[in-house]
Amino acid sequence: MYCNYCGKVIQDDAAVCAYCGIRVGASLARTKLLRPRLGRKIAGVCLGFSEYFDIDVTVVRVVWLVTAIMTCVGFVPYIIAWIVMPEEPLLISAPVSVQQVTNP
């Protein structure tokens, strides 16, 4: 597969071009605002917003931190989002049934 922006050859299953960073795959963003269980630093609020709006989590974290430090207002919405945003459901694998083998 080729990147439409820079023209370089990329993997067929790639969602983002490794050379220019432009989204090339048809990956879907989340439809609900959730706090993911994996990859979060404190409570997963910034990661949830970044996945919902389909932007880089580092950008969200830096903007939230700068806003919180400069205005002292960013801490309260973070705590409110921590309380209000539901956590991603826990995926539990189905138990594997073991059949007992008997010798005749």
- pTM tops 0.75, yes or no: no
**Torsion of Cα atoms, 48 then 54 then 57 then 60, to 10°:** -90
- Half-sphere exposure in the Cβ direction for 51 (13 Å, CA): 16
- At 66-101, the pLDDT tens digits run 988 888 887 888 888 889 988 887 777 767 666 666
pLDDT at residue number 12: 76
pLDDT at residue number 62: 92
Ranges of each domain in the chain: 1-29, 31-89
Would you say residue 44 has pLDDT above 80?
yes
Return phi, psi of residue 9, to 5°.
Answer: -80, 130
